[in-house]
Amino acid sequence: MVPALEATLADMGVDLHAQQNVELRFEDRPNKTPRAFCVAIEIPERVILVIKPQGGPDDWRALFHEAGHTSISAHVASLAMEEKRLGDNAVTEGWAMLLEHLTIDPVCSRSGSTSRGRTSLPRRVPRSCSGSSAATARSSCMRSSTTPRPT
């Protein structure tokens, strides 16, 4: 799961490990909850993404969702403290839902490649929308997002 997240963010131009202000807590510890969550300690100076990967679709969705919250919290330096903490929640939820929905997008799951030496992911969980470029990935996902889906 984590390599898939890293690859997806890399295709979007974000190096998860190069962000000095983002701490990744993926290790297994006694009594650690398996639920993924993001803790914004000091926005944007210290943001922590936590998960105890168990596998399965719920873990995939939760990890990608919380990575969306982490990405937003880690990149809001120009806002006042009130806006960082109390601003419009739609922005952070929008990014979280965008990343989460990549895990169920059929176009993204079909178009993944192993061109960068990545391992294949379970069906319907994308590594990225495209193995070629961020622009292609965005356009593939944009096309697929306009397709109505049964609820």
* Among candidate residues 50, 28, 30, 27, the one with its CA nearest the CA of residue 39: 50
- For the chain, 151 residues long, give each residue's pLDDT as a single digit of tens: 889 899 999 988 889 889 999 999 999 889 988 889 999 999 899 999 999 888 889 999 999 999 999 998 998 878 788 887 887 889 889 999 999 999 888 777 655 533 344 433 444 444 444 333 343 443 344 333 333 444 4
Does 149 map to a domain?
Answer: no
Assess if residue 150 is contained within a domain. Answer: no
The pLDDT, as a whole number, for residue 118 is 41
Per the domain annotation, does 151 fall within a domain? Answer: no
Number of domains in the chain: 1
pLDDT at 111: 53
Any domain includes 74: yes
Domain that holds residue 65: 2-144
- Can the peptide bond before residue 44 be classed as cis, meaning omega within 30 degrees of 0? yes
Q: Would you state the pLDDT for residue 110?
A: 58
Query: For every residue of the chain, which 3-state class applies, written as one string?
Result: CHHHHHHHHHHCCCCHHHCCCEEEECCCCCCCCCCCEEEEEECCCEEEEECCCCCCHHHHHHHHHHHHHHHHHCCCCCCCHHHHHHCCHHHHHHHHHHHHHHCCCHHHHHHCCCCCCCCCCCCCCCCCCCCCCHHHHHHHHHHHHCCCCCC
Q: Is residue 77 part of a domain?
A: yes
Give a yes or no: residue 12 inside a domain.
yes
Has residue 44 been placed in a domain? yes
